[in-house]
Amino acid sequence: MEQGTTLFLKSAIVIIGIIVLALSIFWLPYQANFFAEMYPEFAYLQYPLLVGLLVTTLPFFIALYQALKLLRYIDYNKAFSTKTLFSLKNIKYCALVISVLYMVGFISLLSLNAANPGILLIGLVIIFCSAVIAFFAAVLQNLLSRALQLKTENELTV
């Protein structure tokens, strides 16, 4: 495949990464301070929530990197390889980790009676989206694994 055919997807991934990085560095600490001042009874949750949100960016950026590697494999006609399977597996696990981390945060906020409906709704959306991405990556991984098996069988019969 001609290099550059996945340029749009690569640029979208880079732009998403830059936006999330900027939000994590600048907007999240500002919002944490704002909510701590607005709701002083929940000020003790400012830093645990901020750290929890920043921890979830690590698997997010790992998944973005794996997606870039996946697109590079597609550019170099190595879409049907074990490297691609490994990238899909990593994306699946990163999405599952994000879902689990947000579920733990969701449950802990509910147990502390610190549940703001808007924040919980955003958390549920993130949990759902991450679970969908994990499921989609698992389906693609299974499909690609079967395709690799067929490819190996065909190479052996020829």
pLDDT at 158: 58
Q: Indicate the burial class of 26 (C-beta count within 10 angstroms; 0-12, 13-18, 19 or more).
A: exposed
pLDDT at 117: 81
* Helix axis angle, 82-111 to 46-75, nearest 10°: 160
Average the pLDDT over each of 42-56, 126-140, 144-158 and give the range with the smallest value.
144-158
- Please check the confidence at residue 129 and state whether its pLDDT lies above 60: yes
pLDDT band at 1 (very low <50, low <70, confident <90, very high): low
Cα(55)–Cα(123) distance, rounded to whole angstroms? 14
Cα(21)–Cα(15) distance, rounded to whole angstroms? 10
Give the pTM: 0.88
Q: What is the DSSP letter of 81?
A: S
pLDDT at 139: 96
pLDDT at 3: 64
